[in-house]
Amino acid sequence: MKPSTPALGDLGVEAIVLPGNTSTADIEAMFRNDRGLRAVVVEIRGTLSLLTRDQLDHRMTGRLGYGRALSARLTAEALVPATTFRLPPSLDLRAAASALLERPEESRYQDVLVVPESGAPRVVPVSEIFEGLSAVFRHAALHDPLTGLANRLGLEESGSALLTGNGSTRAAALYVDLDDFKVINNTFGHRAGDSVLTAFAARLQRCTSPADRVARLGGDEFAVLLADVDEAGALTLADQILDALAEPFTHDGHALRVTATLGLALASDIGVDGQDPGSHLEDLLRQADAAMLQAKHEGKRRLGRIDPSLPASRFARQALIRRRLPQALDNAGFTLHYQPLMDIGTGLCPAVEALLRWEDPELGRVSPDEFIHVAEHTGMIHALGLWVINEACAQARRWADAGRSRAVSVNISPLQLAAGSLVRDIHACLQRHNLPPALLNIEITESAAITDPASAAAQLRALINAGIGVDLDDYGTAYSSLSLLRELPLTGLKLDKSLVDTIDTDPTSAVLLAAALASARALGLKTTAEGVERETQLAVLEDLGCDIAQGYLVARPLPPADLDAAWAARSDGGQAPV
């Protein structure tokens, strides 16, 4: 369960309340007899005021050393300052700290009087407020705000401590992934999804012992780190987790059935000799993740475990990709290469497509086919997609500043379109780099568009109205539908390589391509042929009236500097520049 956020009334100590006619001598005696006493509260005609030890000392020692003599016959009413800083006990620590920082600097660090509607007042030191606020921020940094479980960082911290010492040899990790969870979000909404995640987190905690560590790693993925457990104990817990999902979750009167796939890794599976706790935890989670992916492949709703005696499987690489992906984004592991788009009529290349590349120290070169679906599954696609848009806009700006303006096309994930923030994100990037909208083009796949046609159409229309091009990508694949060309606002159509491959050798392929081009022309769409690799293909495309060619015949994807060099070389040689 998520802990309650402390309020101001939870801090400090209950105050001693004195009547206004209490003598100075009596007050001095109280402070002298209790060295831990910081302040007292004085009640004067129903109003409470704070008198601190520092204020009393200043009054009694001031006035050129005659303070005590001058104040000896005074009462508490005459000793209290003219104003007292009061705050309600229900105030949370963030608001309390903000109120303190608005005070004049000379009084900012004086104790605070907290006055409830009923009951005794409290005296709260300022240091206690900021210490409490620091604890709140630390807790937030280490915990998932939805479920209250540890997040990945929290698991790394507490898990590493758990794996220190002899207990590391009897540790195990369970990786838990809820099956097809996006169906819940898409069908019943994200409120229902959040409700299920919160309820599942509670069930997961009930299955485990206080010594275990339970975390939500992100999205619909959880991890359980088990301490001092053998194989039988770990398998029993895995069965309990699967059984805990037998009862459906309820939300707004709906019974929502959810299953999970688990992966198990024991310390004995990976070996721990000479490992520091952090590396040990990383290897345990990676092995459990790979086991979960293997179990998913075998049919879901089950427990997977990888035989450590067998060679590493492709699931181990997938698990490592999932672990390395956040680091790649944080540590500039991604780059963009740009492939020219050639105007078939002129031979010029006024535009390029941005293609994402990842070179990892551990994994080597990682294909987009490997990591894009991982990014989509883990939810990282939103941050990654935004990085691509921003970097592409930055590069387009650099080219424009150098006098070589090129429009840049970027691919948009289905999940970016489904999130509903695409228009806002793109406009923010354009504004950040002062880039004209005409120098940006987006490409969507048909699968992305048909997820929610109405929402997709509204967003695409807004982009087109702003001057941004919108191409339907991969036309001619399994998702092809002529009705989409009518329903979706588009400015261009990209013909998939499968339509182009044999147009120069197979008359039927050329006829099919001609039909697609005719449909696009009738709708006023600019057409691009992908995967053009031979001059004979290019000739057919020119005869059929295709507008743009893209492929290795024109140029391979290149880093910006190499593309600029190729552009300069072709210009010097009298060829149409890329």
pLDDT-wise least confident of 65-69, 140-144, 248-252? 65-69
Q: Enter the tokens of residue 359.
A: 């070179």
Q: Which residue has the tokens 């309020």?
A: 7
| Confidence at residue 481, expressed as pLDDT on a 0 to 100 scale | 60
Q: Tell me: pLDDT of 449 over 50.
A: no
Q: Which of 301, 304, 264 is nearest to 181 (CA)?
A: 301
What CA–CA distance (Å, rounded) separates 207 from 560? 53
Domains within the chain, CATH numbers bracketed: 8-137 (3.10.580.10), 144-310 (3.30.70.270), 324-560 (3.20.20.450)
Place 571 in a pLDDT band, splitting at 50, 70 and 90: low
Report the SS3 class of residue 167. Answer: helix
| Confidence at residue 227, expressed as pLDDT on a 0 to 100 scale | 84
Region 564-572: mean pLDDT is: 69
Contact criterion met (CB below 8 Å) for 176 and 222 = yes
| Confidence at residue 442, expressed as pLDDT on a 0 to 100 scale | 97
Q: Tell me if the pTM is above 0.75.
A: no
| Confidence at residue 224, expressed as pLDDT on a 0 to 100 scale | 95
Q: Is 329 exposed, middle or buried (0-12, 13-18, 19+ CB in 10 A)?
A: middle
Place 165 in a pLDDT band, splitting at 50, 70 and 90: low
Mean pLDDT of the chain: 87
Structure-model confidence comparison of residues 402 and 448, the more confident one: 402
| Confidence at residue 569, expressed as pLDDT on a 0 to 100 scale | 67
Please report, for residues 350, 471, 489, the alpha-carbon distance to residue 474 in angstroms, rounded to integers and kept in the order given. 21, 10, 16
Contact criterion met (CB below 8 Å) for 129 and 96 = yes
Q: What is the pLDDT of residues 338-372, one digit of tens each?
A: 999 999 999 999 999 999 999 998 889 999 988 99
Place 151 in a pLDDT band, splitting at 50, 70 and 90: very high
Region 33-48: mean pLDDT is: 90
Place 376 in a pLDDT band, splitting at 50, 70 and 90: confident
Q: Which of 329, 447, 451, 469 is nearest to 390 (CA)?
A: 329
| Confidence at residue 430, expressed as pLDDT on a 0 to 100 scale | 97
Place 64 in a pLDDT band, splitting at 50, 70 and 90: very low
Region 521-540: mean pLDDT is: 95
What CA–CA distance (Å, rounded) separates 442 from 410? 5
Place 450 in a pLDDT band, splitting at 50, 70 and 90: low
Region 1-12: mean pLDDT is: 73
SS3 sequence of 270-292: HCCCCCCHHHHHHHHHHHHHHHH
- At 347, which amino acid appears? G
Torsion of CA 213, 215, 221, 227, to 10 degrees: -10
Give the pairing of strands 213-218 and 221-226.
antiparallel
Q: Tell me: pLDDT of 62 over 70.
A: no
Region 371-383: mean pLDDT is: 87
Please report, for residues 412, 415, 460, the alpha-carbon distance to residue 421 in angstroms, rounded to integers and kept in the order given. 12, 10, 12
Give the DSSP H/E element, type plus range, for residue 215: strand 213-218
| Confidence at residue 439, expressed as pLDDT on a 0 to 100 scale | 97
| Confidence at residue 65, expressed as pLDDT on a 0 to 100 scale | 46
